[in-house]
Structure 1
Amino acid sequence: MTLIAGLVAVITLYLLLQTLRTASPALLARMGRKAGGVACLAIAAFTGIRGELAVAIPLGLFGAGLLGWSPGGLDRLGLGGLFGGRMGSGGARSRLVELEEDRDTGRLSGRFIAGPYAGRSLDEFEVPQLAEMISYLDSGSAVLLENYLDRRLPAWRQHAQRDAAGRQRRAAASTKMTEEEAYQILGLQPGAGRDEIGRAHRALMKKLHPDQGGSTYLAARVNEAKDTLLRTHHG
């Protein structure tokens, strides 16, 4: 039984670490609030049983606020700035983005409050457009936008990755590589021989191969450069 319990614990810990590694900042913030809320309630219950109500009551209210159980949540406790944007009653605000949650329906809406899209609702934009904007936002605004996308389309990250890969493939297929480009990619001078092309290709692939943590797109371009130049030599 001890061995089985140990295996279960190891597997559970591994799955938890994998979840934390791939989780978005918005998800980690929510997990942090919930964990903090549960811990505060547990400590409040313990101190309450011991009769220390002066400690138990405020601690319990704080824990309930973290879990969103109290009307007005964290904002009533003056702790709205915890874990990300400035919190309000059912919403959050950063420098560029404002979110609002309908407490009755749970629907999350938002808008840009500054920048080139100031005043426009997040609902006006397609998911891929919003996903592309994330890398250009400040960290607080990026977290809120990820939070909004998590609610609007939970699988938006997978869609964004597929869209990016598709754009790279279309860009590569739309233009035929010239010899000049191929020489530049491989770092060779025009007229380089087959042996030089092979050595340059192998050296670059060691750095760029996806199995080594490199870029699939760049590795494909290096392969195309080698093929382009070898076809020239063959011709």
Structure 2
Amino acid sequence: MPTLIAGALAVFILYTLLQMLRAANPAILARGVKIGGGIVALAVAAFTGIKGELAVAIPLGIFGAGLLGWSPFGTSGFSSIGGMFGGGAARKSAGQTSAVRSQYLDMTLDHDSGALTGRIIAGPHAGQSLDAFDLPQLAAMMAGFDAESIALLESYLDRRFPAWRQDAQFDGAERESHATSSGKMTDEEAYQILGLQPGASREAIGQSHRSLMKKLHPDQGGSTYLAARVNEAKDTLLRTHRN
């Protein structure tokens, strides 16, 4: 009987964890995994060091410290390893943001945290932040938005309410895939989307594009629409460089 109870409890805990992972914000989840991995690596390094296995403990300790954002060799040391886990990218893009604008919404993506914030710029709620509304209120706004604004709002909802599509009464993914921009993207818009200053080099354009795609690519739980806009921004600026 105790074994049966323990088994049932284990299944319940596993199910609860899976539900939490499914509903978690991808950016927050990735940061949690990174921090947890750093702590585990440092703990194992300390354990092996006590046993006298310094050849294993030292590199493992440095690796764990790198995951937590610290390097004994300064900012240049182990930058490639840190970049694999987002540490290097965070230092390079400190304070960097991207802006995407539609007829009804003005959205901002923080490169470091992956947080997506928005402001309504037209309609009865003009001037208000999306954070001021709950899920039912935001869903009701879609009826008055154009396709491009709906795609942006759905991207915001995916970040703030990861499981919202499960209860939605419409196919938002299909509508997002058909959303198109309001016209040919200008250089100014492209720079804003990539979070760059006018005149940025090809290398800076490529670096910003890669960093954003890691956060926005659909395969990583991101937005199809925003990923397409980032690709369009890169192509627009690279054409400018070729000309």
Instruction: Give the shorter-chain TM-score range.
Output: 0.3 to 0.5
Larger radius of gyration: 1
Higher RCO (Cα < 8 Å, 6 or more apart): 2
With structure 1 as the length reference, what TM-score do the two structures score?
Answer: 0.43
With structure 2 as the length reference, what TM-score do the two structures score?
Answer: 0.42
